[in-house]
Amino acid sequence: MHYRTPAPLRSVLEICLSFIPLVILWVAAYIALSVHIALALLLSMAASVFLVRLFMIQHDCSHGAFFKSKSANAWTGRIIGVLTMTPFAVWRRAHLDHHASSGNLDKRGVGDIRTLTVREYKARSKSGRLAYRLYRHPIVLFLIGPIYVFLLNQRLPDKYMRKQAKYWISAMGTNASIIVLAAGLIWIMGAAAFFIIYLPMIVGAGAMGIWLFYVQHQFEDTHWETSEDWDVHDAALYGSSHYDLPQPLRWLTANIGIHHVHHLNARIPFYRLSEALRDHPKLKTIKRLTLWRSFSCVGLKLWHEESRKLITFKQAQKVT
């Protein structure tokens, strides 16, 4: 498939179009501190958008899609991982496992938003149901979650990877590089300015990233099957949304909304996903989710196996 062929100059250009605005906005935020902290925070949040875009490039590198060279993909992913606070080898392994099990009810838990079926939820104790409700609360998912994931959880390999040295090397190497970069920036601009600018940026980028990941799979008519009936192509087409964002949001999020096509063939670089959608117009309507409609997905919490839909807690109360 010709869509899978990356264009090296285009890939380098996309890195520049993401990294240069990030640096400019960072410097602008630092200068703005002398004017008003609110302006600095606003510019920091603007910078977080380009950090998300760099994360999407790191994501493509994890699939070997951004460059033809395996080494170029790996080193680009590692370097960006310092900025996104995401150890490349660790995240790549978890994300590839997500692709291999997305939509499989028997293989939930790796790189996913935790989702219970109605039966599983009702079988839990009161404290177990409360814990799940808290986990699925928007404040936890989109505010506390990014802080935990990017600042704390990703400092170590995931538990199921901890017996392999390469994942420790990835995590510790990223941590050491983050410390060196942070120390250099603190030396240049001071600790207060660094944390005022950096922390809102990383949390903002994390919140946006988790939101995008959430709506890519957590929509009403998504697709789940047990292992016996699970099919990778059906899971890709029907368990991943076409998050049809307006421009410039589509550009800023590196076409990640064309997620069903990405799951069909993860080796397509993000800047060629729109070509695939253009050339295969039937794909445009499959699991299409608009920006406005996507906000209703926040209320969906449980998979109802009989109706084959994600439903709300209130709807689950009516299910026998």
- Report residue 295's pLDDT band, with 50, 70 and 90 as the boundaries: very high
Give yes or no for residue 60 having a pLDDT over 80.
yes
What mean pLDDT is predicted for residues 16-20? 98
What is the residue range of 170's domain?
2-317
> Tell me, what's the pLDDT at 115?
95
**pTM of structure:** 0.94
What mean pLDDT is predicted for residues 105-132? 91
What mean pLDDT is predicted for residues 285-291? 95
Q: What element of type H or E holds 310?
A: strand 309-311
Please count the structural domains in the chain. 1
Query: What letter represents residue 109's amino acid?
Result: G
> Tell me, what's the pLDDT at 263?
95
What mean pLDDT, rounded, does the chain reach? 94
Question: Phi and psi at residue 287, in whole multiples of 5°?
Answer: 50, 40
Inter-helix orientation angle 70-84/37-62, to 10°: 150
Exposed, middle or buried, 293 (CB in 10 Å: 0-12/13-18/19+)? middle
Q: Report the range of poorest mean pLDDT among 17-21, 112-116, 134-138, 298-302.
A: 112-116
> Tell me, what's the pLDDT at 109?
72
**In terms of Cα–Cα distance, which of 223, 224, 98, 90 is closest to 167?**
90
Query: What letter represents residue 74's amino acid?
Result: A
What mean pLDDT is predicted for residues 101-129? 91
> Tell me, what's the pLDDT at 238?
95
- Report residue 160's pLDDT band, with 50, 70 and 90 as the boundaries: confident
What mean pLDDT is predicted for residues 84-99? 94
Q: What element of type H or E holds 126?
A: helix 126-135
What mean pLDDT is predicted for residues 304-320? 91
**In terms of Cα–Cα distance, which of 22, 77, 25, 27 is closest to 55?**
77
Residue 170 and residue 74 in contact, taking contact as beta carbons nearer than 8 Å: no
Give yes or no for residue 110 having a pLDDT over 80.
no
Query: What letter represents residue 191's amino acid?
Result: A
To the nearest whole percent, how much of the chain has pLDDT over 90?
Answer: 93
Give yes or no for residue 320 having a pLDDT over 90.
no
> Tell me, what's the pLDDT at 1?
63
Give yes or no for residue 163 having a pLDDT over 90.
no
CA-derived radius of gyration, the chain: 20
Give yes or no for residue 111 having a pLDDT over 80.
no
Give yes or no for residue 105 having a pLDDT over 80.
yes
**In terms of Cα–Cα distance, which of 114, 102, 47 is closest to 230?**
102
